[in-house]
Amino acid sequence: MKEVVVITGASGAVAKVLAKKLENEYTVRFLTRTKKHENDFEWNIENKTIDEKAFENVSHIIHLAGANISEKRWSNERKKEIISSRVDSAKLILETLQKKNIKLKSFISASAVGIYGAITSEKIFKEDDEKGNDFLSEVVILWEKAADEFQEKGVAERVVKVRIAIVLSENEGALKKMSVPVKFGIGSPVGTGRQYIPWIHIDDLSSVFEFALKNENINGAYNASAPQHTDNENFTKEIAEVLNKPMFIPNIPGFVMKMIFGELSVVLLEGSRTSSEKLQNEGFQFKFTELKPALKNLLTKN
């Protein structure tokens, strides 16, 4: 009998790619706002409702739910939504499992490299480095604390927190937004262009979650970012080369981004390098270790 894996964040690209990797070996179910398929189960975080049938015979939960950080300006209301979608959703799952006295083999939660703070420096951050003190790091600290409670309260044998870098996908996210102006010949670095962009190909990220699921020795926090480091200027140049488009100079000034995006602009104007050495030492192998092949794979598909 196949083990049951419940995945939250069903509408996201990562959940869809991951499900395809798992469906032959596991029974995959989704928690989603609107049921569309037989293996969908509805929940509503605001109303604290959840279809408990989703958890029948469940062994593992992969928690990917979370409002998009960079989708809207960070009003106070949006900040609450960003935190609630990650933290309150985990609490709702935990309370439901406790009520039904269900024990998990693993609770695997998405997290983010934003835990180290939105700063540009020469430091390469590892999992045991100090956490930041800005909004992004606050979000991730609360997010990981909610995940840790599954193990602390004896609901899960182990908890894995996958600290995700910027996910490169052909259908959504940062790459799609960055490649549009390049396609029109007006691609340009942002701010100084020296801020680092920790990144990971969506196929590698889904493989990280699969790896965490299948390896019982994986426990705790892991940076999920490609081994090769790059900055904003090089990233933009690489997109232009792959698309065979010219670069538009000069850089877009930082104050322009701040006027457009407000506090959210820090995501675009600052960035640090992160190390995935811990993950690789556990035996994980990246398929896309360098940026250009990753971009070619995503941007030149027919």
Query: Would 242 be classed as within a structural domain?
Result: no
Backbone φ, ψ for residue 109 (5° rounding): -115, 140
Q: Which 3 state secondary structure label does DSSP give 109?
A: strand
232-247 pLDDT, tens digit each: 888 888 988 998 988 7
Q: Which 3 state secondary structure label does DSSP give 13?
A: helix
| pLDDT reported for residue 270 | 66
Residue with tokens 């995503």: 298
How far apart (Å, rounded) are the C-alpha atoms in residues 267 and 293? 24
HSE-up of residue 150 (Cα within 13 Å, Cβ side): 33
Query: Would 45 be classed as within a structural domain?
Result: yes
Domain CATH number, residue 99: 3.40.50.720
Q: Identify the CA nearest to 142 among candidates 200, 197, 82.
A: 82
AA identity, residue 190: V
| pLDDT reported for residue 216 | 94
Query: Would 196 be classed as within a structural domain?
Result: yes
How far apart (Å, rounded) are the C-alpha atoms in residues 103 and 108? 14
| pLDDT reported for residue 73 | 81
| pLDDT reported for residue 100 | 95
How far apart (Å, rounded) are the C-alpha atoms in residues 79 and 74? 6
Query: Would 26 be classed as within a structural domain?
Result: yes
| pLDDT reported for residue 266 | 65
Q: What DSSP string runs through 22-87?
A: HTTTEEEEEEESS--STTEEEEETTTTEE-GGGGTTEEEEEE-----TTSS---HHHHHHHHHHHH
How far apart (Å, rounded) are the C-alpha atoms in residues 210 and 19? 9
Residues near 132 by beta carbon (within 8 Å), at least 6 away in sequence: 114, 115, 116, 117, 118, 119
Query: Would 73 be classed as within a structural domain?
Result: yes
pTM of the prediction?
A: 0.93
Q: Identify the CA nearest to 110 among candidates 45, 156, 64, 158.
A: 64
Q: Identify the CA nearest to 135 among candidates 301, 262, 14, 35.
A: 262
Per the structure, how many domains does the chain have? 1
Q: Identify the CA nearest to 218 among candidates 141, 281, 142.
A: 281
How far apart (Å, rounded) are the C-alpha atoms in residues 193 and 240? 15
Domain that holds residue 73: 3-233+260-299
Query: Would 154 be classed as within a structural domain?
Result: yes
Taking 50 as the pLDDT cut, the residues of the chain under it are 302
Query: Would 255 be classed as within a structural domain?
Result: no
Query: Would 113 be classed as within a structural domain?
Result: yes
How far apart (Å, rounded) are the C-alpha atoms in residues 74 and 300? 33
